[in-house]
Structure 1
């Protein structure tokens, strides 16, 4: 099990440095950095060059129990296809990685990578700039058949033509039920007097805003600027009252474990690890709803091995492979059919994962999940400035 959340590593606040400048440019007509669809493909070398380069986050793939350098699912892919994979764990922050590869992409040069995994809000930026290629779904029958319908059509990429989820998760509420002495079922339950000074929220704008809006009854698939400002007014007032203890990255884990915080805005993937160490911690998807998010696979412009990359993506959408990955990383699996594979396992711990709603949300939870429309490039600078002023960044 991964002991750090991919989501907890995100620090992309928007409007910062070169990434923020490019995002602002992207909102003004057709930006100088934009790449037309006809100019995105390279002469693909997949048939004669049986390899690909895959850039991912740390601790986001299965590893061998006896050799941390071996990754069983990738080894099986090589044996099945003859395609070798150079796998790098070089993505630690969305904006940082954007800054690393954006000079090549804006100057219409190859990045040296055939496949990358970034958060969907950052995927939106790549799609707007024309920096990723449309995938050939005819070459990806398992994606077509097995991709979770909840993840099929995010606002930034209807039909998932340019992106495919690697793993998914939920931003909800984690709380210590024993110490709090009551249930939390609604976002508004966080604002009750017995939690004054004992609540934390996430500091990242892209991670925090959706669930807070949903608590006000907003449809996050089509939220407006008025919805955003109403949410920030509420949060600002709570800060002034001393109700919110602080804004955090993944350090809410430490605060919950110590009892300094009794309830925290949290990521589902983190809570599985927390519960292993502290069974009093519970995770709840508020009745008003919570955000379903993903970190997704994309093929950058001028990738040399596009077809090989498409084959690897499709391979991870085989239910048995998705099950192996889910059993290791413990995030929401984007392949619901993997649940039956795990349930049939003779290993009791592996079989139990099939019943974990934080890996395979049940129908009641699924009805409350939504993918937020992304913050546009025109909105981002102003919204980030407002949010950062509240958070103290």
Structure 2
């Protein structure tokens, strides 16, 4: 299990999706569904795997607490394996304003920006979310959603490097260490373009948050293609990459921070995560309400519930990602003081300086870069 499946099964459709998603011409926006929350005390939440607190019986304690507090039952769906593949499943329904079967979905910043741009999300009523006052000020006004009109952060995290400590006792420090001949055929990378390419670009000296263009991306894609073509990279995966670490098929990888804590808890303390020399990536996944959802108010009450510091701390203690909720660190002290000092959950300024947000792309850049990346995934 992991927060984030091999894209090869998507076939050539993945490249077509990247092209279709970046069309820049005007398009009619669908009309939001009428809200029937008052007469329907349910909410459906689509999320990534291993991305909420869970007990030994497979129950979700904070979701049970939400239902007890509000009377709203939750259909929690582990439905997102990768931003692009999830979008490919629902984009036709979204374009028609239809119900996609979920009332709130958690997706990464750049994909949320796409949904907002196409009119696939509903405007949120902040009056239904008073606990949103606890949102970290640094996350309140992103360029893709000023004032958080359509989205609210769920969790954030780092993209970096990890390795099997038993197989690589000396560890690794840079992304380029993954290209060592001794690791040939035992390296994994992520199917999320911004994380894999972001880490490679920064290893080559490019600040992914800064002013860069085709030359810098081409230099990194050439490195990536070379390592795939020569068999250095074994797998390019989303949700399934941790299984390769567990089986030993891969000994080192570009990975997500919180996942390594989870795998160590599940399968023994065998792996180490680090932000590489050169820098890692920083991202947030965000709640949004799809345009066809008829239960927007229920979704807003769910979001509000998770902005209580005590609830946010309980989730953080299990998922080990960066919580966006102010006061959660103090609440975490009561759970586990060591947890409150974990830099992967409550990073300080020094840690944050080692990671960067992949800058926003124009429609032309999105089409070009995603197509180049997908062509490698698909063996073109």
Contact 1:200 1:245 survives alignment (8 Å): yes
Checking the alignment, whether the CA contact within 8 Å between 1:41 and 1:133 is kept in structure 2 is: yes
Most deviating of 108-117 and 296-305: 108-117
In the alignment, does 2:360 pair up with 1:371? no
| CA distance 1:15–1:247, change in 2 (3 Å) | closer
Root mean square deviation of aligned Cα: 3.4
Equivalent position to 1:62, from 36, 40, 53:
53
Determine helix, strand or coil for the equivalent of 1:123. Answer: helix
Q: For residues 62 and 82 of structure 1, what CA distance do their matches in structure 2 show?
A: 20
Note closer, same or farther for the CA distance 1:51–1:324 as it changes in structure 2 (3 Å cut): same
Equivalent residue for 2:280? 290
Instruction: Extract unaligned runs of 5+ from structure 2.
Output: none
Work out whether 1:29 is the aligned partner of 2:45.
no
2:156 — aligned with what? 168
**Aligned counterparts of 2:128 and 2:183: Cα–Cα separation in 1:** 52
How many residue pairs align between the two structures?
Answer: 376
How much has 1:196 moved relative to structure 2? 5.8
Name 1:97's counterpart in structure 2: 86
Contact persistence 1:253–1:274 (CA under 8 A): yes
- Deviation of 1:214 after TM superposition, in Å, equals 1.6
Shift in CA distance, 148/168, structure 1 to aligned 2, threshold 3 Å: farther
Is the contact made by 1:6 and 1:60 (CA closer than 8 Å) also made in structure 2? yes
Q: Which runs of 5+ in 1 are unaligned?
A: none
Matched, 1:212 2:209: no
Q: Which moved more, 1:255-264 or 1:328-337?
A: 255-264
1:221 and 2:212 matched? no
- Asked if residue 321 in structure 1 is aligned to residue 326 in structure 2, the reply is no
CA gap 1:330/1:386 in 2 versus in 1, 3 angstroms? same
* Match status 1:279 vs 2:269: yes
Residue 314 of structure 1 and its aligned partner are, at CA, apart by 1.5
* TM, length-normalised to structure 2: 0.83
Which of these residues, 236, 241, 266, is aligned with residue 248 of structure 1?
236
Q: How does 1:1-393 map to 2 (within 5 A)?
A: 4-7=1-4, 9=5, 11=7, 17=13, 20-21=16-17, 24=20, 26-31=22-27, 34-35=28-29, 40-66=31-57, 68=58, 70-147=59-136, 149=138, 151-177=139-165, 179-191=167-179, 199-222=187-210, 223-239=212-228, 244-249=232-237, 253=242, 256=245, 261-276=250-265, 277-335=267-325, 337-345=327-335, 350-391=336-377, 393=379
Q: Structure 2 CA distance, aligned partners of 1:263 and 1:235? A: 15
